[in-house]
Amino acid sequence: MSRKVKISQTLAALGIAGILLLLIFELQSVGTTDMRQNAETRLSSSIGGAFSLTDQNGMRRSQADFAGRPMLIYFGFTYCPDVCPTALDIMGGALDKLQALDAGAYERLQPIFISVDPARDTPPVLRDYLAYFHPRLSGLTGSKADIDAVKRIYKIYAARGAQEDENGNYNVDHSSFFYLMDENNRYLAHFDHAVTPDQLAKNLSQALARRR
């Protein structure tokens, strides 16, 4: 098994484990009647919320700037060696396929990349990086406090690695999946970063069709 596949599987497991732990907590906190349905509802309602970040053009942005538009959000960092660029390639490919499959959903959907490495991911770095993937991608970064806050509300795991190379570069371990949020910044679904562009486009079209 290649190193890339192992890393991808590990990151996916971290993200899924975080959601499962939250679900277990919710299951323990409700009664037996409709327990699973209630827990899933509470879990989904606990993901997302108010944020204030800086976009790739240096403009301060909040969730209110995206009100009325569903968001497809991926958390990562620009120095990521393989998983993040692979995920963003999938995201960009899915957007192109969605445009052909469901132009209305494509026009409504706002794709967003949120950095989990604010120390290095400044607005200019984000702007240059995201230009490789899709012209409609918005990048968001901020102070460490800003990013810690948005990680909490979206239940994202991310932690800086202890090791640095001879140039001072370091890795950031993080969960890796796409969040689909509705037009009111409420959780709709999440998709593993290993999904194909075709399948992601179909999933997005189906999920957003139910919102019309």
pLDDT digits (tens, 9 = 90+) for 26-57: 444 444 445 444 444 445 568 999 999 999 99
Q: Which residue has the higher pLDDT, 204 or 10?
A: 204
Cα separation of 16 and 10, whole Å? 10
Rg (CA), the chain: 17
- Which pLDDT score is estimated for 45? 63
Q: Which residue has the higher pLDDT, 16 or 188?
A: 188
**For the CA atoms of 162, 164, 168, 171, what is the dihedral angle to 10 degrees?**
-70
Q: Which residue has the higher pLDDT, 4 or 70?
A: 70
- How many folded domains does the chain comprise? 1
CA-nearest of 18, 11, 10, 16 to 155 is 18
Residue 116 belongs to what domain range? 3-209
pTM: 0.80
CATH code of the domain containing 50: 3.40.30.10
Average per-residue pLDDT in the chain?
Answer: 84
Checking if the pLDDT of 117 tops 70, the result is yes
- Which pLDDT score is estimated for 36? 45
